[in-house]
Structure 1
Amino acid sequence: MRSAARGYVPQVLAVPAVLGLAVLVVPLAALVGRVEWATLWRDVTAPEALAALALSLQTGVVATALCLVLGVPLALLIARAGARTAAVLRAAVTVPLVLPPMVGGVALLFLFGRRGWLGPVLADLGIQIPFTTVAVVLAQTFVALPFLVLALEGALRSTGVGYEQAAAALGAGRWRILWRVTLPLALPGLVAGTVLCFARAVGEFGATALFAGNAPGVTQTMPLAIYTAFNGAGVSQGTAVALSLLLLVTALAVLLLVRAWRPGGPSAEVPR
């Protein structure tokens, strides 16, 4: 019975499987091994580290809120569109996931930069976006939005429209159906997408570096502070390792939270 439950995969494949797992786990173990535990608290609470941490959290929260405002309607549009339209929209949303983050930064510069499409208009209004904290939020939103949209769209598509049709037949309006039926049914996907979105925003590096720069206290987030430290400037390498550990712990916490809210999990029961 145990053999049947595990299937009939050739046992020799366990060797490359373990090697693949090692490729993912061993570097992280090496990172943990380099942490100076005696000075960990001091490193994490250094003024430069706290500034980078605070900026990452603040911009991450704002970017996540912006993703919710824009991403929930987009996910609803994709989930309820026809097959061909949904495929095109889903592909457009997925593009930032497969693009190198640096390309996203260049694209944002060509849109909001001084010589970009919107640059002259913004300059006439006295607005500068590149190399400001606003640029950090926009870069984080660009790379994190697909995580929310795809997670929520999948949850919405899996729930179907049967309950919505029943609510409409009972006289409920569109907004009431949205808030009382559609979104509660897709809540696990919404929560998972929001958490993943926040984690991706906090960990964003490439697009932020090109579009927002690396000014301490203004645009230097945790990933940029870590990169700067290992290039001999900014925070110490001990602080950089401590911040790297903090990002690792954050990622693990995100995965555990997503698992708790995954469709089919204990928190994914259909409301009655």
Structure 2
Amino acid sequence: MNEVLETIDWSPLFISLKTGILATVLAFFAGIAAARFIMKLNNTAKAVVDGLLTLPLVLPPTVAGFFLLLIFSLRRPFGKYLYTQFDIKLVQTWPGCVIAALVIAFPLMYRNARAAFEQIDVNVIYAGRTLGMSERKIFWKVVVPMAAPGLASGTVLAFARAIGEYGATSMLAGNILGKTRTVSVAIASEVAAGNWDTAAFWVCVIVILSFLIVALINLISGKNMKNVNRWM
């Protein structure tokens, strides 16, 4: 084991963590915005838009990666436009890791945010309007704090999904050591190369991270239940 540790390149862990953190921050605000927007729609529009926003959650990650390649490839109009006009390249780059992780993690944040918002008593919102509060102020000062436990769970789940993403990341960002190779990509690469000890090490790392994330979710849920019982 010591020999394995001596030969380990730790860049996949750092890349996974910084990718997961940035993708989670983006998914947090995008998920809240999407959940707030969809609650204003009628039932038909809500069903259609919700299906589109949730689609990356049910599609195989490789399918999502294929669509991302179609959009951001330099051979495609949009990808070519981003590169020529803004010097933005997502294929085979670290920003591509972030975009892939964001697309896959976003539905988890969005679904949790929407569920948390829908559980809020509308009478509290009506009371805020009676007091003359603006809709924006009601949302950020009343709705978001009341939905905090659900938003926290969604954030943790989104982070877990982001750091564990493989399919879309490998297709869009590739497998460049020190640049786009995340822990999940490293595991697949090491197994393909026959380096089982190194692959096992990264498996242990991702298992420990996943366990810590699940424990954090349980702590958040337990704290939420204590608060509910306190008011009962």
TM-score by length of 1: 0.78
For structure 2, the 5+ residue unaligned runs are: none
For structure 1, the 5+ residue unaligned runs are: 1-38
Structure 1 counterpart of 2:89, from 99, 107, 128: 128
Q: Deviations over 1:208-233 (max 9, x none)?
A: 11110000011000001110000117
Q: How many Å apart are 1:78 and its aligned residue?
A: 2.0
Per the alignment, residue 215 of structure 2 pairs with: 256
Q: How many residue pairs align between the two structures?
A: 229
Q: Deviations over 1:172-193 (max 9, x none)?
A: 2223212221001111110000
8 Å Cα contact 1:152-1:190 kept in structure 2: yes
Per the alignment, residue 107 of structure 2 pairs with: 146
How many Å separate the matches in 1 of 2:43 and 2:138? 23
User: Is residue 90 of structure 2 the alignment partner of residue 157 of structure 1?
Assistant: no
Question: CA 1:82/1:245 → structure 2, altered by over 3 Å: closer, same or farther?
Answer: same
Per the alignment, residue 31 of structure 1 pairs with: none
Question: CA 1:200/1:267 → structure 2, altered by over 3 Å: closer, same or farther?
Answer: farther
User: Is residue 213 of structure 2 the alignment partner of residue 238 of structure 1?
Assistant: no
Q: What is the CA RMSD across the aligned residues, in angstroms?
A: 2.2
When you count helix as a share of all residues, which structure comes out higher? 2
8 Å Cα contact 1:260-1:267 kept in structure 2: no
8 Å Cα contact 2:8-2:198 kept in structure 1: no
Per the alignment, residue 148 of structure 2 pairs with: 187
SS at structure 2 position matched to 1:265: helix
Structure 1 counterpart of 2:174, from 207, 213, 228: 213
How many Å separate the matches in 1 of 2:201 and 2:169? 21
User: Is residue 28 of structure 2 the alignment partner of residue 68 of structure 1?
Assistant: yes
Question: CA 1:65/1:103 → structure 2, altered by over 3 Å: closer, same or farther?
Answer: same
Q: Deviations over 1:105-136 (max 9, x none)?
A: 11001001012241221232233210000000
How many Å separate the matches in 2 of 1:168 and 1:51? 51
SS at structure 2 position matched to 1:127: coil
Bigger Rg, structure 1 or 2: 1
How many Å separate the matches in 2 of 1:194 and 1:114? 32
Identity of aligned residues (%): 31
TM-score by length of 2: 0.91
